[in-house]
Amino acid sequence: MITVERKVHFQVGRRTRKELRTGSKVVAKPVTRVPRISRLMALAIHLDQMVRDGVVADQAELAKLGHVSRPRLTQIMNLLCLAPDIQEALLFLPAVERGREAVTERQLRPIAGMEDWRKQRRRWRSQTAMSQTF
């Protein structure tokens, strides 16, 4: 008879699959997520392209297809009024590991409402500087 000895670890939890692994306890990698504002910015760009390509007639049809209200769709589409460099910054925000996100769509509404991109940029810089102090 042959006896084999190995250290094994069963990981259990709500969202984990039970696996038999050799070795000691496996250290879990931190779970990260793409910031919500980055996803909304990408969505706004995609929806705008759908309207431009004639896939949908207008924003009202988009709202109906997306099962959101027209005002909510307008809020999302207003992100397109931001200066291009701010839009790019939103798309490339670092992943969030835990806690609250640094930038929210609600914080950006007044900035998107400004017509002058220079004023938008000043407000964006002050907004991001404030969020980095916390």
Quick one: tokens of 24?
A: 């000691």
Torsion angles phi and psi, residue 77, rounded to 5: -70, -25
pLDDT confidence bin for 3, thresholds 50/70/90 = confident
According to the model, what pLDDT value does residue 45 have? 97
CA angle 112–33–133, rounded 5-degree value: 60
CB atoms within 10 A of CB 37: 20
How does pLDDT run across 77-127, given as a tens digit for each residue? 999 999 999 999 999 999 998 888 989 999 999 999 999 999 999 999 998
- Please count the residues of the chain: 134
pLDDT confidence bin for 134, thresholds 50/70/90 = very low
Whether the predicted pLDDT of 24 surpasses 80: no
Distance CA 118, CA 13 (A): 50
How does pLDDT run across 34-56, given as a tens digit for each residue? 999 999 999 999 999 999 999 99
Helix axes 36-53, 59-66, angle to 10 degrees: 130
pLDDT confidence bin for 128, thresholds 50/70/90 = confident
